[in-house]
């Protein structure tokens, strides 16, 4: 049996991770958008849609783990020389942005929505609901935009 060529192997893992992560962001974006067709009039249906949107979290987890492991393997192939290139530094900045945006901005909004759907956070007025909806949209659009810029940087590798 021949030895595994680390570069194509890691790249396949990396692209698979990227595809899963992007699918997760798009999936939760589309399903959470559907939720507003039902909420607040039909809270039961909205709660079912919310549950579906949360099923996409497994894509983030698997995609994120694959990206990190394969990213480090790819860096090893390049003996970490890439880390000094500008495009890679910007890319890493955007990766950190993706994580912080999810933790600081997206997470609390989703938690608030979950609280409303379960009745634990009382009832929100139209203004609060509008704000929640807008924040969720901004969160997802920012994630997708950051991913798109990462794709462009990874392909063009501006120096």
Give the burial string for 69-101 (b: 16+ CB within 10 Å, else e): ebbebbeeeeeeeeeeeebbeebeebbebbeeb
59 contacts 21 by C-beta, under 8 angstroms: yes
The structure tokens listed for 96 are 């950190």
- Smaller CB distance to ligand HEM: residue 1 or 155? 155
**In 3D, which of 140, 148, 138, 147 has the Cα closest to residue 31?**
140
Beta carbon of residue 124, minimum distance to ligand HEM (angstroms, whole number): 32
- Smaller CB distance to ligand HEM: residue 46 or 101? 101
For tokens 């462009």, name the residue: 152
- Smaller CB distance to ligand HEM: residue 71 or 106? 71
Beta carbon of residue 71, minimum distance to ligand HEM (angstroms, whole number): 2
Residues contributing to the site for ligand HEM (CB under 6 A): 11, 14, 18, 21, 67-68, 71-72, 74-75, 78, 82, 95, 98, 147, 150-151, 154-155
27 contacts 53 by C-beta, under 8 angstroms: yes
Cα distance between residue 32 and residue 84, in whole Å: 39
Beta carbon of residue 38, minimum distance to ligand HEM (angstroms, whole number): 31
66 contacts 11 by C-beta, under 8 angstroms: no
Beta carbon of residue 32, minimum distance to ligand HEM (angstroms, whole number): 20
- Smaller CB distance to ligand HEM: residue 20 or 117? 20
Beta carbon of residue 40, minimum distance to ligand HEM (angstroms, whole number): 34
- Smaller CB distance to ligand HEM: residue 11 or 131? 11
């Amino acid at each position: 049996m021949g030895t595994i060529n680390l570069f194509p192997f890691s790249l396949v893992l990396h692209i698979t991770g990227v595809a899963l992560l992007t699918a997760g962001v798009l999936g939760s974006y589309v399903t959470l958008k559907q939720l507003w067709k039902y909420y607040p009039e039909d809270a039961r249906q909205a709660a079912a849609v919310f549950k579906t949107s949360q099923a996409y979290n497994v894509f983030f987890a698997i995609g994120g783990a694959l990206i990190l492991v394969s990213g480090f393997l790819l860096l090893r192939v390049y003996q970490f020389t890439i880390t000094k290139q500008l495009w890679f530094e910007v890319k890493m900045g955007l990766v950190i942005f993706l994580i912080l945006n999810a933790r600081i901005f997206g997470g609390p909004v989703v938690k608030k929505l979950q609280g409303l759907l379960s009745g634990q956070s009382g009832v929100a007025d139209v203004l609060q609901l509008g704000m929640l909806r807008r924040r969720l949209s901004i969160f997802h659009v920012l994630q997708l935009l950051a991913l798109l810029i990462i794709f462009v940087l990874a392909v063009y590798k501006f120096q």
